[in-house]
Amino acid sequence: MRLLAGSFLIYQSQDNVFSAARMQVFIGFCRAASIPWPHIGAPVSVWCQFLAGIALVLGLGTRLAGLILIPNFLVGFWFVHAAGPVPGWWPPLALVGMGAVLATIGAGRISLDHRLAIRLGPCSRYLEKSLSRPD
């Protein structure tokens, strides 16, 4: 799930990250959707998606990345998808759910979070539990 969500986030946001023209199109889309402060919200949303995607693929900061996805896609759902047909609800709400699961359970064993928890050793039980579930 982590790799799927992360790959999707990187793919869907990279054009806005690497192209100022595409970012302007997205800002216009946010303005048309009546999202408050689109000139600030659009870049913040895109960069959150892109960086969270990288974090999820690497399994580094997975819980934080999951937490970032929840409000990002709830805002998108509320302003863009909620008034539309129910099948359109699926992508943003699925990402909200994935974010909640990843924020709750962490990255798992095959992740940089897990490796970091092992490297920090037993002297840091809080970090071990918050970064990954190494059991």
Residues 6+ apart with CB under 8 A from 134: 109, 114, 117, 118, 128
Residues 6+ apart with CB under 8 A from 86: none
User: pTM for the complete prediction?
Assistant: 0.84
Question: Residue 108 carries which DSSP code?
Answer: -
Interior CA angle at 100 toward 132 and 23, to 5°? 105
Question: Residue 61 carries which DSSP code?
Answer: S
pLDDT in tens, 105-120: 988 889 998 888 888 7
pLDDT in tens, 59-73: 999 999 999 999 999
**pLDDT reported for residue 128:** 46
Distance of CA 64 to the CA centre of its chain: 9
Closest CA to 33 of 77, 87, 96, 88: 77
Quick one: what percent of the chain has pLDDT higher than 90?
A: 71
**pLDDT reported for residue 123:** 52
**Single-letter residue type at 74:** L
